[in-house]
Amino acid sequence: MTNTLTIGRKARERSTTASVPRHRTRSARPPWQEPPTTVGQAAKGLTLGGMLAVVLVPLWIIVVTSFSTPGAINRAGGLVVWPDGLTTEAYREMLGDPTVSTSLLVSLAITGVGTAVSMVVSVLCAYGLSRPRSLGHRFVLVLLIITMFVSGGLIPTFLVVTGLGGYDQWWALILPGCVSVFNILILRSFYSETSAELIDAARMDGAGDWRILWSVVLPTSRAVTAVIALFYAVGYWNSFFNVMLYMPTDSQKWPLQYVLLTYVNRGVGLPGSINAGFGNTHAQTAPLSLQMAVVVLTLVPLLIVYPFVQKHFRTGVLTGAIKG
Amino acid sequence: MSTARAERARRPPRLNWRIRLRRDKSLILMTVPAVVLLLAFNYLPLFGLATAFQDYDPLVGVWHSDWVGFDQFRQLFSDPLFWESMKNTLYLSFVQLILFFPVPVALALLLNSVLSERLRNFIQSVAYLPHFFSWVLTITVFQQMLGGAGALNQFLRQHNMGTWDIMTNPHTFALLVTSQAVWKEAGWGIIVFLAALAGINQELYEAAAVDGAGRFRRMWHITLPGMRGVVVLMLVLRLGNALSVGFEQFLIQRDAVGHDAADVLDTFSFYYGIATGNYSYGAAAGLFKSVISLLLIWGANRLAHAFGEDGLYRG
């Protein structure tokens, strides 16, 4: 992420001398470019098509299998590629299962609370550091940047968190990693670019810094705020190692990723829940479809949010950084 | 850049710090939560590194544990398991550098030559997606596709072609983890190179074409030099992080392929530090890794300067 930042700066410098990368809406070939060769086009199509297939085909197979009837899975001998018999049985089973449904709630709560905490802390800090020549901002900036190069590492951090009483506590899953200096620096570089005229005008009207942040800076940098919020949210949603460190014993407190790891990846049965479920009483549900349903469940929130934020990648992180 | 000049022109005279404090007190207050959190969870652990020179006993804490000097390091350097994880780290890092690094560069060049903007956007959306998957999910997907009971072997079995177990074979583990890294991160890696490509002056291409340069000469003389700065920067970052090769990725797969293939420095600290309760030993391994990493960042940056590039920082 810093890379995007640094490169943004570089590209900006470059573009001020060149002043070219406006909207590249040209979808027609520029007149000076030679027509493509058939071989070249075919190779390009195959490579890009292959790249799409490598990402999309596994996801397709997993989704189809999660919706497949036991019969379809039997006929396919495992994973189902072409829809054969479809059912939502696996999903009903999964959401009725105490371990999975609890873990879904846990994951949603950690992601929601964690993202909120991270965003409040980061946005405040980024704005606090973004005003030129404010007292002490250089010192704080250096304090932040040092952490990007030196860190105590795994064990000292573990000892600090457990020393502060974090073992088996919810906050241990959120606070230790809730500040990302990368993200603060990205936000800061955008906030610094908020037009000085706008801010001066607000100040003339009697707005303090809190008011300026809330009513001027935040509304003018929605795209980058959304992208950073997504980065944080994805980080919380995907985290499992801190659970392994700080909350390994009580399966009722596990988030979804840890359930996925334990149950699907390692194939371990969860105490008194899924395993007992389809091992004995619900033998008619195919375990594979249930496993794939858990995989899909970890994907769903991402796929819901992605299209909305993804258009901001372009306007936010990428073009925002380039256009300067 | 004109705003910067305007700003400099109306720079106010330097103020007394007391006045600046009163003026900026809300700004300072805003940075407090982040600073407190960093002090607690980033700076405090730096002092916790002292445990590497102790025989840390969780019952009495850092203050009352016995100091043993460099004993932990001496033990570490005579531990074959440590050297094994060191060897694995360097090997896996090297394989990833060779096989992973060129992929996003090539994909960015390829994608940049796609003329239809809608198609380009669609490909980008798909390519970025796996970056947002967790390692648990990524490895589960690989397991389902390539594992013993996965789609590939299912196909091979049905056509009587034997089986090919990639997920548990320690000999091909380096290729496996590299392909996982490519699958998950190569698409996202495109983003920085595309940004560099968008920064190249399009008129250069036109002028070169008018002068008779074909597409390969244009690529060689315009595109590649235009990307050089970014490529060098990414290489510096990669070299600086050479000792951190996907901790979670190895943690998850260690059981499947065995520790002699999957133990890297990070997992070594975890398994022989936290999991066994031998905290000082793990902390010593962690400290060793941090010091070498800092040296690597410094060295890689010097290298970038030697090539006339900015690298990570100047100075």
Q: Residue B115: pLDDT band by 50, 70, 90 thresholds?
A: confident
Among residues A218, A50, A29, A54, the alpha carbon closest in space to that of A120 is found at: A218
Nearest CA in chain B to A23: B198
Report pLDDT for B312: 66
Q: Which residues of B touch A210 (CB under 8 A)?
A: 26
8 A C-beta contact, residue A176 and residue A157: yes
Answer whether A143 sits within 8 Å of B38, measured CB to CB: yes
Which residue range forms the structural domain that includes residue A115?
Answer: 2-12+98-323
Of A121, A134, A299, the CB nearest to B27: A134
Is residue A218 packed enough to be buried (19+ CB in 10 Å), middle (13-18) or exposed (0-12)?
Answer: middle
Task: In whole angstroms, give the CA distance from residue A2 to residue B232.
Answer: 15
pLDDT for position B303: 84
Give the whole-angstrom CA distance, residue A156 versus residue B52: 9
Smallest Cβ distance to B33: which of A54, A124, A136?
Answer: A124
Q: Is residue A48 part of a domain?
A: no
On whether residue A76 sits in a domain, the answer given is: no
- In tens, the pLDDT along A170-197 reads 899 999 989 999 889 888 888 888 888 8
Contact A152 B234 (CB under 8 A): no
Cα radius of gyration rounded to whole Å, chain A:
25
Contact B89, B264 (CB under 8 A): yes
The total of structural domains in chain A comes to 1
CATH number of the domain within which A149 lies? 1.10.3720.10
A1 pLDDT higher than 50: no
What are the distances in angstroms from CA A263 to CA A8, A103, A243, A288?
42, 12, 15, 11
ipTM over 0.90: no
Residue of B65, B144, B152, B241 best to disrupt the A interface, most CBs of A under 10 A: B144
User: Looking at residue B182, what DSSP letter applies?
Assistant: I
- CB-nearest partner of B195 from A8, A295, A302: A8
**Closest chain B CA to residue A77:** B154
Mean pLDDT for the stretch of residues B112-122? 85
Q: What is the largest CA-CA distance in chain A?
A: 74
Q: Choose among A150, A94, A112, A81: nearest CA to A297.
A: A94
Of A24-33, A229-238, B267-276, give the lowest mean pLDDT range.
A24-33
Q: Is residue A87 a part of any domain in this protein?
A: no
Residues 6+ apart with CB under 8 A from A44: B110, B113, B114
* Alpha carbons within 13 A on the beta-carbon side of A119: 21
Asked if the C-beta of B34 comes within 8 angstroms of chain A's C-beta atoms, the answer is yes
> Which of A24, A44, A122, A135 to mutate against chain B (most B CBs within 10 Å)?
A135
Find chain B residues with C-beta within 8 A of A212's C-beta.
none
The helix/strand/coil state of A209 is: helix
Helix (H, G, I), strand (E, B) or coil at A247: coil
Average pLDDT of the residues in A253-260: 88
Q: Rounded to a whole number, what is the distance in Å from the CA of B59 to chain A's nearest CA? A: 11
Residue A18 lies in a domain: no
Which secondary structure element, helix H or strand E, spans residue B91, and what is its range?
helix B80-99
C-alpha B236/C-alpha B252 separation (Å) is 28
- pLDDT value of position A280: 39
Whole-angstrom distance, CA of residue B204 vs CA of residue A31: 14
Q: How far apart are CA A206 and CA A199, in angstroms?
A: 11
Sorted by where each starts, the structural domains of chain B and their CATH numbers stand as 16-69 (no CATH), 72-306 (1.10.3720.10)
- Residue contact A27–B266, C-beta within 8 A: no
At residue A86, φ and ψ (nearest 5 deg) are -110, 145
Please report, to the nearest 10 degrees, the dihedral formed by the alpha carbons of residues A135, A140, A145, A149 taken in order.
140
Closest by CA to B289, choosing from A150, A162, A158, is A150
How close, in Å, is residue A283 to chain B by CA atoms?
Answer: 20
**Structural domain contains residue A141:** yes
pLDDT one-digit tens code per residue, A96-152: 888 888 999 999 999 999 999 999 999 999 999 988 878 888 899 999 988 888 888
CB A78 within 8 A of CB B149: yes
- Residue B3, pLDDT score: 58
More confident site: A13 or A271: A271
